[in-house]
Amino acid sequence: MKLFTIGPVQMYSHTLSIKSKIVPYFRTPEFSEIMFNTDSMLKKIAGTSQSSKSVYLTASGTAAMEAAVINCFSSKDKLLVINGGSFGMRFSKICDVHCIPHEDIILSFGKTLGLEHMERFENKGFTGLLVNHNESSTGQLYDIKLIRDFCLKNNMCLIVDAISTFMCDPFNMDDFGIDVAIFSSQKGLCLSPGISIILVNEKTATARVEINKPRTLYFDFKDYFINIARGQTPFTPAVGILLELNDMLGRMLKTGVDKHLHAIAAKAVYFRSRIREIGARLPNYPLSNAITPIIFDKPLALGIFNFLKDNFDIFVNPCSGEMENYMLRISHIGNLTFDDYDMLINCIKEYYETVEVN
Ligand SMILES: *Cc1c(COP(=O)(O)O)cnc(C)c1O
C-alpha cells in the first residue's frame, strides 16, 4: 500500500516500530518526564515561548478546532471565519452549534484570499478570527502575515488551524501573531491519528481561557493546563501516539526542521513539474508544500482515484463538492521519495492507456 494522502500519511519505519510495542502505564514520573520533553520540543519547533500553554487532546483535529473555539470564546464574542472550503466551513458550523456570533468570508473555489476580502470587516467589533492556514480541501495556503496584521489592527484573537501546515510549511506561532494554534498527529507530524494539540499563548490563556466557562467536561482546557504542569493529561491519552510524537520531535530537532521542510518542498516542486504529462494543471492560488491539488479539464478524478486504489493499492485524496470529479490532491508529507512520484505518474498514464478517455 502506498499513501499519497495528507493524513494518515505513509508513516516512517521508526514510528511503525514504536507502534508495535506494548503501550505502557502512564501515571508515572517516567511518563511525565517524556511529556515535559515532548512539550518543550514541540514549543521550540512551533516557534512559541515555553510559557505558552498546551493541551494534548485524544481526539481528531475537528475536536481540537471545536475545543479551541469554546474555550476561547462565548456568545458575547463576534468572530470572523475565513470560509474557503470544507475546513473553513467546519469552523463556521462549530460557531453555529455553540451559538457564537460570526460572519464568514466565503471564498469561492479558485479565488485567492486578499486584503480586499477582509477590509469591509474592519472596526466592526469583531473579537476573533478563525482560519485554516492551509485550507486542505483546496490546498490554498493563506497569507498568514496579512491575517496577522488585520487581527493586530483590530485587536482580534487569532486562532489558526495549522493541522496541515505544521511541519509541512514554515511555521512560527509567535512571529505569525497566532494566539492559538492547532495541530494533529496524522498530518505533518506523520503519526497515527488520535492526538491533537492546541497551543495557547500566555495572553490568551489568562485573558480568555482561564475566565471562560465552556459547557464541557472533557474539553475544558483549564483542566489540561493544570495537568500538563505535572506532565500529565486529565484523562487517559492515546499513550502510544504520544510516544510516537516524542520520537518524531526528537528526530526532527536532530535533523533540523528546515531540512525537513526543504525535503517536502522539493517533492512538491518535482511532482508539480510533471503534472502536464498526465493532462492536469494547478490552480492559481498559493499552495502549501503539504499537498498539490491537480485539476483535470475532463471529469476524470474519480475514475483515476478508483483505478489507483483497485489496481495498485495507491491512495490519493479525492475532493468533494463542485470539484469532485475534476480535482485530486496529492500529498508530499510522509515517507515518500521522488521514485514514488515517478511511479504515481506512470500509474496515472496507465489509466489513460487502459480507459478510453474522451
Ligand atoms: C485534517 C484536517 C483537520 C482535521 O480533520 P479530522 O478528520 O477531524 O482529523 C482539520 N483541519 C484541517 C485543515 C485539516 O487538514
CA 109 – CA 293 distance, rounded (Å):
12
CA 89 – CA 162 distance, rounded (Å):
15
Q: Residue 183: CB within 6 Å of ligand 1?
A: no
Q: In this structure, what are the phi and psi dihedrals at residue 317, rounded to the nearest 5 degrees?
A: -90, 125
Q: Is residue 358 over pLDDT 60?
A: no
Q: Residue 221: CB within 6 Å of ligand 1?
A: no
Q: Residue 196: CB within 6 Å of ligand 1?
A: no
Q: What is the pTM of this model?
A: 0.98
CB 197 within 8 A of CB 58: no
The pLDDT value recorded for residue 357 is 65
Single-letter amino acid, residue 306:
N
C-alpha 166 – ligand 1 centre gap (Å): 12
C-alpha 152 – ligand 1 centre gap (Å): 26
C-alpha 137 – ligand 1 centre gap (Å): 9
Reduced to 3 states, what is the DSSP secondary structure of residue 3? strand
Q: Residue 288: CB within 6 Å of ligand 1?
A: no
Q: Residue 132: CB within 6 Å of ligand 1?
A: yes
The x, y and z cell numbers of residue 199, run together, are 497551543
CA 12 – CA 338 distance, rounded (Å):
16
Mean pLDDT value of segment 293-299: 97
Using alpha carbons, list the distances in angstroms from residue 153 to 56, 118, 158, 316: 31, 12, 12, 40
Ligand 1 pocket check: which of 6, 60, 133 to mutate, most ligand atoms within 8 Å of Cβ?
A: 60
CA 207 – CA 277 distance, rounded (Å):
54
Instruction: Compute the mean pLDDT over every residue in the chain, rounded to the nearest whole number.
Output: 97
pLDDT tens profile 50-85: 999 999 999 999 999 999 999 999 999 999 999 999
CB 45 within 8 A of CB 252: yes
Q: Which helix (H) or strand (E) holds 122?
A: none
Using alpha carbons, list the distances in angstroms from residue 237 to 226, 228, 304: 15, 12, 38
Q: Number of helices and strands (H, E) in the chain? A: 12, 14
Q: Residue 317: CB within 6 Å of ligand 1?
A: no
Mean pLDDT value of segment 316-338: 97
The x, y and z cell numbers of residue 69, run together, are 473555539
CA 159 – CA 157 distance, rounded (Å):
7
Q: Is the dihedral of CA 267, 248, 12, 197 positive or negative?
A: negative
Q: Residue 184: CB within 6 Å of ligand 1?
A: yes
pLDDT tens profile 176-214: 999 999 999 999 999 999 999 999 999 999 999 999 999
The x, y and z cell numbers of residue 71, run together, are 474555550
C-alpha 104 – ligand 1 centre gap (Å): 19
